[in-house]
């Protein structure tokens, strides 16, 4: 049975959206995956594959359907068309999962869709987004005052347009109450595994990850994939400041010190920095230190202790934790590569 056939056979429609008593007792969870013209295919297919495998291991765990602002064939950014039902009414699902993709910019420009999302997300329903789908949640005001993440290339836009959201650009996925957001594209799989673990325990989530041949908990954060592009470019508002940090890694570079050198208040500096680079100042400094340390260790000319000291780490253990978080490898492993 193909994945697409499996989706179709297990999908639920308006006539059977109310679960049976047996399904309720088994903990069956109804999921609506929302797509739109120009959605990213993997944003939807990745999580659906997770729920499909979880359902195969534990029948009665999940049922799902794909919905869109207009029912019918919806073209993904890759040109492939998915059949989708119309947008669901509140109460017909337990989890609402929004895909992302380039088409999200057209979605958030439509007040009608923002109002629908506000109604659909009311009550106790769980709401999740993949990639730039979090922009839809933010535009509807649902993430105000909450922690969230998005695709690394969308972080400047997100930070600029939604300063009231506590953006955490390094995270693979973030949960804040009943709202879950994830980083770019394949991170939807990480998010779906976390949802399965929340619903049915880590054992099932680990089984699903093993079946899909993916990490159950991916090492490192999103920055290992973004390559901190904004920090590497030679122009930009904070280019000179970042060059100074690179040349003086052993010195202290806290927000207060950096803000003073930028001649800005710490609060304004922190917000402007995220909007410009897609990273918090602390994470940017950490990344610059880690990149310099990785290069030094790869050359093999200095000890781990010496590299940690030269790059501004308090001790080798602090550097080790940073490497594992950013690269998924300890410094000792870098030395062996």
Residues 195 and 233 in one domain: no
233 and 182 part of one domain: no
In this predicted structure, which of 253-257, 264-268, 272-276, 281-285 has the lowest mean pLDDT?
272-276
Domain residue limits at 287: 223-336
pLDDT band at 21 (very low <50, low <70, confident <90, very high): very low
- Is residue 258's pLDDT more than 90? yes
Backbone φ and ψ of 307, nearest 5°: -65, -40
- Residue 187 lies inside a defined structural domain of this protein: yes
Domain contains 171: yes
Residues 31 and 172 in one domain: yes
- pLDDT band of residue 287 (cuts 50, 70, 90) is confident
217 within domain boundaries? no
Neighbouring C-alpha atoms within 13 Å toward the C-beta of 212: 28
**Region at 232 (left for phi over 0; alpha for psi -120 to 50; beta for the rest):** alpha
Residue 283 within a domain: yes
One domain, residues 95 and 185: yes
Q: What is the pLDDT of residues 154-171, one digit of tens each?
A: 888 998 899 999 988 878
Provide the CATH number for the domain around residue 268.
Answer: 1.10.10.60
Please tell me whether residues 109 and 10 are part of one structural domain. Answer: yes
pTM of the model: 0.66
Find out whether 188 and 43 touch, Cβ atoms under 8 Å: yes
Q: Is residue 23 part of a domain?
A: yes
Is 284 exposed, middle or buried, given 0-12, 13-18 or 19+ CB atoms closer than 10 A?
Answer: buried
What is the pLDDT, as a whole number, of residue 336? 58
Q: Among 183, 212, 241, where does a domain finish?
A: 212
Q: Are residues 234 and 203 in the same domain?
A: no
Give, in degrees to the nearest 5, the angle at Cα 129 between 125 and 135.
115
Higher pLDDT, residue 254 or 218: 254
> Which residue reads 């999921």 in tokens?
31
Is residue 333 predicted with pLDDT exceeding 70?
yes
User: Could you tell me if residue 73 is inside a domain?
Assistant: yes
**Most confident listed range (233-237, 299-303, 321-325):** 321-325
Nearest residue to 184 (alpha-carbon basis) of 146, 132, 107: 132
Do residues 165 and 229 share a domain?
Answer: no
Note whether residue 218 is domain-resident. Answer: no
Statement to judge: residues 203 and 254 lie in one domain:
no
Let me know whether 249 and 330 are in one domain.
yes
Domains in the chain: how many in total? 2
Please tell me whether residues 241 and 307 are part of one structural domain.
yes
Instruction: Name the domain boundary from 212, 235, 265.
Output: 212
Closest CA to 270 of 257, 283, 280, 278: 280
How many angstroms separate the CA atoms of 31 and 196, rounded?
12
202 and 268 co-located in one domain? no
Q: Are residue 172 and residue 301 in the same domain, yes or no? A: no
- Write down which residue in 188, 212, 236 finishes a domain: 212
SS3 content of the chain, % helix, strand, coil (to 5): 50, 15, 35
């Amino acid at each position: 049975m193909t994945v697409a056939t499996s989706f179709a056979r297990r999908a639920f429609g308006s006539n059977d959206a109310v679960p049976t008593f047996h399904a309720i007792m088994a903990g069956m969870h109804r999921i609506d995956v929302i797509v739109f013209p120009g959605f990213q295919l993997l944003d939807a297919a990745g999580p659906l594959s997770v729920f499909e495998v979880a359902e195969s291991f534990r029948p009665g765990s999940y049922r799902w359907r794909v919905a869109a602002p207009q029912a019918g064939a919806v073209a993904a950014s890759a040109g492939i068309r998915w059949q989708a039902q119309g947008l669901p009414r509140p109460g017909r699902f337990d989890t609402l999962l929004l895909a992302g993709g380039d088409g999200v910019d057209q979605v958030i420009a439509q007040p009608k869709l923002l109002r629908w999302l506000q109604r659909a997300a009311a009550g106790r329903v769980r709401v999740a987004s993949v990639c730039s789908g979090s922009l839809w949640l933010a535009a509807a005001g649902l993430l105000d005052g909450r922690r969230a993440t998005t695709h690394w290339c969308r972080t400047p836009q997100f930070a600029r347009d939604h300063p009231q959201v506590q953006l955490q650009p390094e995270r693979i996925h973030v949960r804040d109450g009943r709202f879950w957001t994830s980083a770019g594209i394949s991170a939807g799989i990480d998010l779906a595994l976390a949802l399965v673990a929340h619903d049915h325990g880590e054992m099932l989530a680990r089984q699903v990850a093993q079946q899909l041949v993916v990490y159950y908990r991916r090492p490192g954060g999103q920055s290992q994939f973004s390559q901190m592009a904004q920090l590497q470019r030679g122009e930009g508002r904070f280019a000179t400041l970042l060059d100074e940090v690179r040349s003086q890694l052993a010195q202290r570079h806290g927000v207060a010190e950096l803000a003073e050198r930028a001649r800005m208040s710490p609060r304004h500096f922190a917000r402007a920095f995220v909007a410009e680079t897609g990273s918090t100042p602390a994470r940017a400094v950490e990344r610059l230190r880690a990149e310099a340390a990785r290069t030094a260790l790869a050359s093999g000319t200095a000890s781990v202790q010496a590299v940690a000291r030269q790059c501004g780490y308090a001790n080798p253990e602090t550097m080790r934790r940073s490497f594992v978080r950013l690269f998924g490898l300890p410094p000792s492993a870098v030395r062996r590569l």
